[in-house]
Amino acid sequence: MSWLDALILGLVEGITEFLPISSTGHLIVARALLHLRAEQFDWQLIVIQGPAILAVCWEYRARLWDTIAGIRRERTAQRFVLMLMLAFLPAAILGLVLDKTIERALFAPIPVALALIVGGVLILIVERLRHREHIASVDAIQPAVALKIGLFQCLSLVPGTSRSAATILGGLLLGLSRRTATEFSFFVAIPTLLAATGYKLWQARHAIDGSQAGPLALSCIVSFVAALLSIRFLLRYVSRHSFGAFAWYRIAFGVLVLGAAFRGLLTV
């Protein structure tokens, strides 16, 4: 991986990880465009995902610290952790079962493009529905709702779907306000991405080497900064806008990827 590759991958990871446009899908396309070898790219991608998780932890550091400090005695902290675990477990279990199958069958530009397009259409459909917002804060989420959001998150196991899109739109359909659905998606990302990163690092432990330390460090720094800015942008954006713009972007990008793939411009 060159320094330019490192910069591009860090930007792509950081910008797309928390927007409803699929970071995995964009990174698979980036891998094809940059002609990176899959076995090397896979563990490098795992490493640069870590700083994006840290960006969420930094943005919500006060809430997370209060939760950690109060977990033994405060009902609010205990309930918050329970909601996160209920939303985290379905995708974690299904991911363990289907990981290899999904990786073999769907980690390619054409499946990603199709998922981007279908996801964009679904976003437009959901946005046309009338939403009755009766859950205005993360602390008001009930266990059944958290579990259902976790089931929606299972859709994101398909590359190109987007974990953020699945959880945020699921939250909207279940009565969460836009900001609450977005914030809960960020919080659920912490155990989900930490578990996925740890699992993938363990799987790739024999392939990891230190020869790419410099470029990887650059990717990590860029990923953290880009993810932090992306999180703050999305929180401001959702308070005044729908997700329609992201839907049309997904559809346009998916069509572009499909066209490039069929013309042989993208190879895995």
Cα atoms in the Cβ-side hemisphere of radius 13 Å centred on 5: 20
Return phi, psi of residue 130, to 5°: -80, 125
Q: Helix (H) and strand (E) counts for the chain? A: 11, 0
pLDDT value at residue 38 = 63
The angle, 0 to 180 degrees and rounded to 10, between the axes of the packed helices 163-173 and 178-203 is 150
Q: How many CB atoms lie within 10 A of CB 25?
A: 27
Q: Six-digit token pair at 13? A: 């990871």
Distance CA 218, CA 106 (A): 29
C-alpha radius of gyration, the chain, whole number: 18
Q: What percent of the chain has pLDDT over 70?
A: 93
pLDDT value at residue 40 = 62
The kind and range of the H/E element at 229 are: helix 213-238
In the predicted model, what is the mean pLDDT of residues 229-243?
A: 91
Return phi, psi of residue 19, to 5°: -85, 155
Distance CA 179, CA 181 (A): 5
Instruction: Decide if pLDDT at 240 tops 70.
Output: yes
Instruction: Decide if pLDDT at 248 tops 90.
Output: yes
Report the range of poorest mean pLDDT among 20-24, 50-54, 98-102, 119-123: 98-102
pLDDT value at residue 268 = 54
pLDDT value at residue 64 = 94
pLDDT value at residue 91 = 92
In the predicted model, what is the mean pLDDT of residues 32-54?
A: 77
pTM of the predicted model as reported, rounded to 2 decimal places: 0.89
